[in-house]
Structure 1
């Protein structure tokens, strides 16, 4: 999927990859430790999250300063460029501590973006009685 410049699509890609990672882990990070197949799949989805974070417009990143944009992009770079030197145990805190919070943050951001998109389509209504400014 080519997200273009629509920030909601980048946020959706990131959330989808975070949800897929949670599915792969099955609620137990030991699955990541025990299975090279799961590790590879998790790393690929972390790369997607990082790449989508890089592509998300700066204005959107500024609207959501609590989302760890640089951290996600940095992890993507490590996984891509230092693939043979990445210690899986260094990724575990990302999976256990940061990913659950990221999923929450992205869900909130996507809801806000959807609300703003609807507002953009609503024409300005005439003021109702009592709405006049003093």
Structure 2
């Protein structure tokens, strides 16, 4: 069953906003010290990853600079290789990748409106 892409994109934006809120004023070290925060951020990234799988490929073509395949794949890494996840990787996703992803998803929202 295919999901309507509008709510999928909104789920991604909402989840990115939650990550921003959860990490506001926090450092990489804070993430490493707080197991609940770390798990919450990992789960948020899983949700974003899963949601990205429901975006049609033809829509993704509007944002070619985004590594959609990697975004779709990181959820599997978090689910199946959780024991090898480094806090540095999660922090990099949060500070480097999520801001660019937010802009890309906003672009996709504008394409479907």
Normalised to the residue count of structure 2, the TM-score between the two structures is 0.86
For residues 98 and 92 of structure 1, the distance between their equivalents in structure 2, rounded to whole angstroms, comes to 9
Q: Could you say which residue in structure 2 is the equivalent of 1:12?
A: 10
Following TM superposition, where does structure 1 have runs of at least 4 consecutive aligned residues deviating by more than 6 angstroms?
Answer: none
Larger radius of gyration: 1
Instruction: Report the more deviating stretch, 36-45 or 57-66.
Output: 57-66
User: Which one has more relative contact order, counting CA pairs under 8 Å at least 6 apart?
Assistant: 2
| 2:33 equivalent to 1:34 | yes
Tell me if the contact between 1:7 and 1:60 (Cα under 8 Å) persists in the aligned partners.
no
- Kindly tell me the number of residue pairs found equivalent between the two proteins: 112
Deviation at 1:4, TM superposition (A): 4.0
For residues 27 and 6 of structure 2, the distance between their equivalents in structure 1, rounded to whole angstroms, comes to 29
For residues 86 and 109 of structure 1, the distance between their equivalents in structure 2, rounded to whole angstroms, comes to 30
Tell me if the contact between 1:5 and 1:57 (Cα under 8 Å) persists in the aligned partners.
no
- 5+ residue gaps in structure 2? none
Instruction: Report the more deviating stretch, 16-25 or 59-68.
Output: 59-68
For residues 55 and 112 of structure 1, the distance between their equivalents in structure 2, rounded to whole angstroms, comes to 16
Tell me if the contact between 2:60 and 2:108 (Cα under 8 Å) persists in the aligned partners.
no
Instruction: Report the more deviating stretch, 34-43 or 97-106.
Output: 97-106
- Provide the aligned C-alpha RMSD in A: 1.8
